[in-house]
Structure 1
């Protein structure tokens, strides 16, 4: 399971009107870097931002934009360093605090992410992003009541944001409030019917209700909207296992694992596959490993006990 995060990365464009040639040069390097971001040439963008920083080591916007590029390359530690430098040179840099908190969360540094969320709230009390980030951190800590409150605060500030609604619905799903979650997802669909995550969550709710046909219907719709999302394939694989199509299910699970070999939910699902096939040794390898790392993942204990009885 996961709570879906807003996938918006903002790259600001800064122009400089100055007679100082150094100002002109660093501004041009920044703009060239932004152009490379638009072309999805992240390495090229980093090179141009670095050139700007050679001219002005206090250039907060260049640190920030380079941090964005590092984040896109999943270089979270380097991104954090850049965002920290941006903040050092521009203490009330709201976007830098937000992005640094996100990067801390990616690294599992949850309490540092929480500190950045609080900083965002302090700098922008009427904005939603600080509460959004805070909600993600509390979800990762399994403090669901606090996460729900955070997302509700975010929604108060931006009520028609479908991503926020899906996050709130996800927390309700975690806490077993399935009908409340469905009601919110229906509202989110009216706002943005192209949002793949809401269909995936509907599939999870249907699965929780043992309606495997509906679960497959909704996850297929999610895949129509976002065909490259490995998480959706893993869920479809699970539903196929329960729908009596284990071989097709295994194909999806393996596809998901090729994208992320450490996904505990996919590893659990592979263990379930081997339980269904009656292969005790293989099932035990996967399920014992998952249970040791996170015993609270649903279905793990149930199928581990079944594997032990094979």
Structure 2
């Protein structure tokens, strides 16, 4: 029987420790960067975008050509509305993979949200070159042309997108929205019926339907439709603004104003809510306050529905 002395035990412990160090030192950069990526993904699942970004940055320090880290970092920035940072990360991702479809799609959407419409249009064109059979190529194109107020071109793009993915309720609602802008309300309502069959819980279809009913002076129906939209999504400022307008037209002035003010608290820059406040003061016979709202809107948004009508009414008070 071999007896182990303290000296033998120390030697064994040292060997074990050295073996552990050897394992650590042999840990490849590939393994390390992969762990940082996974940690970042875990933080994204926990809705901790800030920590996720830090982990992705650590991965990038180890490999400046790590596509997944750049792309996921961009998604983390988007989640917290850091549009410039997201665009920069997607730029880096595209440098690594110049033909990655999803990177161009996400960057195009980010450009759109950032007000860089022509850059978004360039990404839409790139998407069509990469894959002209994807609905996303035409969806982005439609969104861009809508922002640029090229409504016939936008409608054509959404129609193409729908033909490629006819069960996509978002595409159908966008198609209906363009028809509404182009003063084709009956056709828009028909498209909304299709969208509702596909996805009855899509709040935007109910909101758009309410707007069409309002234009047709069907105020109770408009109110009922927008209330469905709010029940499905309580976080959209413009739903409350529309409901406030409809209530005013139904004679519930103070209830309407309360909802319009609630909408402005959620989005203080919404010109439609400011218009509706101007309309409120016209109804109340307050010429001075009404003109404060409506004169500015007439100058900055001269083509907005109801602005010129209520400006004239305010001036006549």
Fold in common (TM above 0.5) = yes
Q: CA separation in 1, counterparts of 2:169 and 2:141?
A: 18
Match of 1:297 in 2: 304
Q: Does residue 132 of the first structure (1) align with residue 132 of the second (2)? A: no
Instruction: Please report how far the alpha carbon of residue 291 of structure 1 lies from its aligned counterpart in structure 2 after TM superposition.
Output: 2.1
SS in 1 for 2:200: coil
Looking at structure 1, the residues matched to 113 and 210 of structure 2 have their Cα atoms a distance apart, in angstroms, of 26
Instruction: Find 1:45's aligned residue among 43, 52, 57.
Output: 52
Corresponding residue of 2:276: 269
1:123 matched to 2:130? The reply is yes
Is 1:85–2:68 an aligned residue pair? no
Pick the aligned partner of 1:142 from 133, 143, 149: 149
1:10: which partner in 2?
A: none
Question: Which position in structure 2 is the counterpart of 1:164?
Answer: 171
SS across alignment from 1:214? helix
Match of 1:36 in 2: 43
Query: Normalising by structure 1, what TM-score?
Result: 0.91
Higher relative contact order (CA 8 A, sep 6+): 1
How many residues end up aligned between the 2 structures?
292
| Correspondence list, 1:250-261, <5 A | 250-261=257-268
Q: Cα deviation per residue 1:57-98 (whole Å; 9 max; x = unaligned)?
A: 221221111111211211111111111111011101111111
**CA–CA distance in structure 2, aligned partners of residues 225 and 211 of structure 1:** 22
Aligned to 1:73: 80
Query: Runs of 4 or more off by more than 6 Å in structure 1?
Result: none
1:228 pairs with 2:235: yes
Deviation of the 1:197 alpha carbon: 0.8
* Counterpart Cα distance in 2 of 1:306 and 1:76: 42
Counterpart CA distance in 2 for 1:245 and 1:48 is 53
Q: What is the Cα-based RMSD across aligned positions, in Å?
A: 1.2
Distance 1:289 1:44 in 2: 43
Of 204, 212, 219, which aligns to 1:205? 212
CA distance in 1, matches of 2:177, 2:248: 23
Does residue 63 of structure 2 align to residue 56 of structure 1?
yes
The structure richer in helix per residue is: 2
1:113 aligns with 2:120: yes
Q: Secondary structure at the match of 2:269?
A: coil
1:182-213, CA deviations, whole angstroms, 9 ceiling, x for partnerless residues?
11111111111111111111101100100100
Q: Which string of whole-angstrom CA distances, capped at 9 and with x for unpartnered residues, describes residues 119-165 of structure 1?
A: 11111111010100110111111111000100011011101101100
State the TM-score, normalizing by the size of structure 2. Answer: 0.89
Q: What SS does structure 2 have at the residue aligned with 1:186?
A: helix
Deviation, structure 1 residue 20:
6.4
Tell me, which stretches of 5 or more residues in structure 2 are unaligned? 1-25
In the alignment, the residues of structure 1 paired with residue 98 and residue 203 of structure 2 have an alpha-carbon distance, to the nearest angstrom, of 37
1:54 and 1:74 map into 2 onto residues whose CA distance is 24
Distance 2:60 2:89 in 1: 11
